[in-house]
Copies of this chain bind each other. A is one copy, B any other.
């Protein structure tokens, strides 16, 4: 039976949060149950924003902030008949009485809003070290469109010449590139000894070289002590010495789930303080769903719940929550931990587990790194691709991959995503009938070369 037919109900489905997960839930529910009443409460002024595009708005690659809104509020309200209330803070959830306490920030009035079904899609917030709260101007984080607008305005008004980006993860790298594009002298500062968490030594070095070639300073193993200045930021102090000039400081030190409402309402909590959900996006309370950056997901390799907030996952989870809230029976299978970034033309991606993570998860993990051309050697263009493959030495199962190169990295990591999801072994992978023509790859695609090398290191294989 089709979801559309099941759900000719006219329940009230309330959604907390108007970004990717929330609006996906709203749209999916309305599509399946056109008669149901759907209300979205969003604390901010923006809805349905493409947050991943914000660094590119900063750098001027994306010109208008409005280009980063998928669907406008008018479209949602008028055309899709979804009631979107912006600047509405949900203060508390009463699961038993099935109602919310809501603050309309425009007039300061509180009211009670009932629900039949609820979806918490409150997202995540930046985790910023305490000393960032220096009271100085010119110290920012980047999470929402309003943050990006603020930073851009500051740059226009104060014309900073130097910038420090704190945190060399994916966002930090994109920020460093985009601020450099604006002509600022940028230093990327990272507490750990490698960029991008644990992407591996070879690929980490590639990234470092790429930054250096493009005039971006990189300081690893560097703890920020304080941001100094009078009124405005002027310098970042690094523990152990070596201060860095910084007219502008942007923190990209990670995010944490905005799960407080769920916690206070008595919902079970999951990985890294996010809201616990099952594979139907159901929380521990009947008829209450959660989706996106405020909740966990199942890792398809370990089977364990993880907190791995990403826009793609938020969209998928939102759809499932929205469908199930109006009587559907959809499943979100889970994640394998895929990430990709482009920094000054270098493409870097990872999926699955690193060797260290795999060992921690109980696998007899081994990794092999190979280097090969992205195209047939004789074909113009292209360049080197590094592929690191992580696999179980006993079973041959593929557990993860990290790839870097000038082109074709997304496609190659995505093959690993599919293979890891399907629990493929290096031996099966090595026979994959991947597309080949000289402009696209060598006869032996780099990922096949990597799996062949891995195959020889699986016990019992020759």
Contact = CB atoms under 8 A, between A and B. Distances in A.
Contacts of A311: 436, 443
A309 B9 CA distance: 56
Contacts of A136: none
A396 interface: no
Given A53-B379, A422-B419, A436 B61 contact: no
A424 interface: yes
A332 B419 CA distance: 17
Interface stretch (A207-215, A225-233, A409-417): A409-417
A341 to B, nearest CB: 6
A412 B435 CA distance: 10
A380 interface: yes
A166 interface: no
A335 B433 contact: yes
Contacts of A347: 440
Interface string A319-363: 000010000111111111111111000010101000000000000
Contact of A312 (B339, B411, B433): B433
Contact of A434 (B338, B432, B434): B338
Interface string A429-443: 111111111111101
Contacts of A265: none
Contacts of A3: 462
A411 B349 CA distance: 14
Interface residues of A, number: 80
A117 interface: no
A410 B409 CA distance: 11
A2 interface: yes
Contacts of A419: 418, 422
B437 A376 contact: no
A56 interface: yes
B410 A312 contact: no
A367 interface: no
B410 A378 contact: no
A316 interface: yes
B431 A316 contact: yes
Nearest to A444: B315
Copies in the complex: 2
Nearest to A61: B380
A300 B431 CA distance: 11
A395 to B, nearest CB: 16
Contacts of A20: 443
Contacts of A431: 316, 332-334
A348 to B, nearest CB: 10
Given A332-B431, A411-B414, A462-B32, A437 B67 contact: no
Contact of A50 (B170, B378, B422, B433): B378
A418 B410 contact: no
Nearest to A337: B433
A414 B417 contact: no
B412 A415 contact: no
B376 A53 contact: yes
Contact of A462 (B50, B328, B335, B462): B328
Contacts of A52: 376, 436-438, 443
Contacts of A410: 408, 411, 435, 440-441
A462 B351 contact: no
B414 A434 contact: yes
A304 interface: no
Contacts of A131: none
10 contacts: A52-B438, A52-B443, A68-B378, A315-B444, A323-B462, A335-B433, A342-B439, A409-B435, A410-B411, A422-B422
**3 tightest CB-CB pairs across the interface, nearest first?**
A411-B411, A3-B462, A422-B422
Given A338-B433, A338-B436, A339-B435, 14 more contacts: A20-B443, A50-B378, A52-B443, A62-B378, A174-B437, A315-B443, A316-B431, A334-B431, A342-B440, A408-B411, A414-B415, A414-B432, A415-B415, A419-B422
